[in-house]
Amino acid sequence: MSDIINIRQVTKTFGEGPAMVTALEDVSLSIKEGEFVVFLGPSGCGKSTLLRMLAGLSSASVGSLTIGGRPVDGRDPSVGMVFQSYTSFPWLTVEENIGFGLDLAKADRATRRAKVGTMLERVALAKFANSYPSQLSGGMQQRVAIARALAVDPRVLLMDEPFGALDALTRVEMQTLLLDLCAQDRKTVVFVTHDIDEAMLLADRIVVFSPHPGRIAEIIDVDIPHPRTIEQTEREDFTHLRHRLRRLLFSMARKAA
C-alpha cells in the first residue's frame, strides 16, 4: 500500500509574543491507503488540532501536510469529517442529511437516490428516512453523520471523538458499526480518541501523543487480526497492549506534572 497522507515536521502555534501557545511541535507521520490510524492521548495534546489541519479547517504554522500527493489547502471533497457533536441539519430529514454532500457535488437524481438508499440500509436507518434529527437518539444521529460522510465516497475519513458523547452501550454499537463499514470499504481512517480500549479495538496503528505541547511519543502497531469484536478485548494480547498503553500514558503524565 502506498502512502496517502504525509505530515512533515508540523508545528502549530496560537497567538503571538508572550501569549503564544504551542499546540503541536515537530510532528511527522505517514499513513498508508486503507489504514485505520488512531490518535491517542490526553486532552490538550494537539491530536484534534492535527485532525482539523488534515481536514483543511486550520493551517500549520510550520511544516506541510499532503493528502493524495496534494497539499492540504482548505476543504477537500475527497476527505470526509465526522465530529463529536451531532452535526445534522435540523431542518432536513435523515434522507436529506445523508444526501447533502451529494447535492453539493451535483450528483444526478438517480445516483443520489441509489447512494442514499444504500447508506440508509448500511447504517440501519431506512425506517427513519423521513424523520428529523430531533426525533433520533444520539447514536442514530451519529449514524446519519457517518452515512453522510461515506455517501460521497471519500478517500479519507477523519473522525474527531465521534462516540465520546454517547452512553457506553451505544458507543459499543457504534464501534461495531464502524468496524463493519471499514471492513467493507477499506477507507483510510484517522480517528481521534482518549479511550485506550476504543483505540485498541479499531486501530491498525496507534499514534500516542505526549502532553502539551503535542509530540508523537510512540507509534504502536496493533497486530491483532480483523474482524475484531468487543468480546476479544479481554483476550491476553489485548490485555498486554492495554497495559503497555496505560504505562506509557501514565509515565508521560507524571513527567508533565
What is the chain's pLDDT, residue by residue, as a tens digit (257 residues)? 799 999 999 999 998 878 888 999 999 999 999 999 999 998 888 999 999 999 999 999 999 999 999 999 888 888 999 988 777 889 999 999 999 999 988 889 999 999 999 999 999 999 999 999 999 999 999 999 999 999 999 999 999 999 988 898 899 999 999 988 888 888 999 999 999 999 999 999 999 999 888 999 999 999 888 778 888 878 888 899 999 999 999 888 777 66
In this structure, the answer to whether residues 168 and 96 fall within a common structural domain is no
In this structure, the answer to whether residues 47 and 110 fall within a common structural domain is no
Q: Return the pLDDT at 94.
A: 95
Cα separation of 9 and 231, whole Å?
39
In this structure, the answer to whether residues 143 and 220 fall within a common structural domain is no
The amino acid that residue 77 corresponds to is P
Cα separation of 81 and 148, whole Å?
9
The structure's pTM equals 0.94
The amino acid that residue 147 corresponds to is A
Query: Does residue 83 belong to any structural domain of this protein?
Result: no
Cα separation of 117 and 147, whole Å?
10
In this structure, the answer to whether residues 252 and 164 fall within a common structural domain is yes
In this structure, the answer to whether residues 94 and 57 fall within a common structural domain is no
Cα separation of 238 and 198, whole Å?
11
Per-residue CA distances from 249 to 7, 93, 243, 244 (Å): 23, 42, 10, 9
Q: Do 208 and 218 touch, CB atoms closer than 8 A? A: yes
Structural domain harbouring 136: 88-153
Strand duo 36-40 + 188-193: pairing = parallel
3-state secondary structure of 236: helix
3-state secondary structure of 85: coil
Query: Does residue 17 belong to any structural domain of this protein?
Result: yes
* Cβ neighbours around 107 below 10 Å, total: 18
Query: Does residue 215 belong to any structural domain of this protein?
Result: yes
Q: Return the pLDDT at 257.
A: 62
In this structure, the answer to whether residues 66 and 14 fall within a common structural domain is yes
Task: Find the CATH number of the domain harbouring 33.
Answer: 3.40.50.300
Number of domains present in the structure of the chain: 2
